[in-house]
Amino acid sequence: MNPLRWRKMTWVLNVWNVIFLIWVIAGVASRASKNCPPGANHQLCVNASDAGTGIGVALIMVLWFIGFVVLALVWLMTRRRGRICPHCGEDVKKGRTTCKACGYDFTLGRNPSRPEPAGS
């Protein structure tokens, strides 16, 4: 399927996933344990920072999942109820065999008002 013909909600879902993926990667990459001072409490600082990073990333992933489920439900509820006419691009309701706008006949695979090409 051509990405330029995706529905708006497909684009929203893809952008949502990319934003949260970047957020998770940035959260892990910028963890505070890299800035722990050397000394007696170094390991404690590293462990505490990594635990905080883990909790933060887990919360981001929970938010990511909840948002994805909501957006996926909207995506399912807003799907097309028909098909696109290959001749004029109009939406044709499910069950119709001809396009109201241009007269394209889906059963013939062509516009009946135009003459059939020679040799067929």
Tell whether 57 and 29 lie within a shared domain. Answer: yes
Distance of alpha carbon 104 from alpha carbon 86, whole angstroms: 8
- At 37-47, the pLDDT tens digits run 888 888 898 89
Tell whether 86 and 65 lie within a shared domain. Answer: no
**pLDDT < 70 regions, the chain:** 1-3, 112-120
Tell whether 66 and 117 lie within a shared domain. Answer: no
pLDDT of residue 1: 57
Overall number of domains in the chain: 2
pLDDT of residue 11: 92
What own/partner pairs with CB < 8 Å and gap ≥ 24 does 55-58 have? 56/27, 57/24, 57/27, 57/28
pLDDT of residue 60: 96
Note the pTM of the prediction, 2 decimals: 0.64
b/e code 15-48 from CB counts within 10 Å (16+ = b): ebeeebeebbeebeeebeeeebeeeeeeeebeee
Tell whether 59 and 112 lie within a shared domain. Answer: no
Tell whether 114 and 70 lie within a shared domain. Answer: no
Question: According to DSSP H, which parts of the chain are helical?
Answer: 8-29, 42-77
pLDDT of residue 115: 60
Q: List the domain range (segments joined by +) for residue 117.
A: 82-120
Distance of alpha carbon 59 from alpha carbon 67, whole angstroms: 12
Q: 3-state class of 78 per DSSP? A: coil
pLDDT of residue 113: 67
Cα–Cα distances (Å) from 8 to 21, 74, 79, 85, 96, in that order, read 20, 11, 10, 19, 25
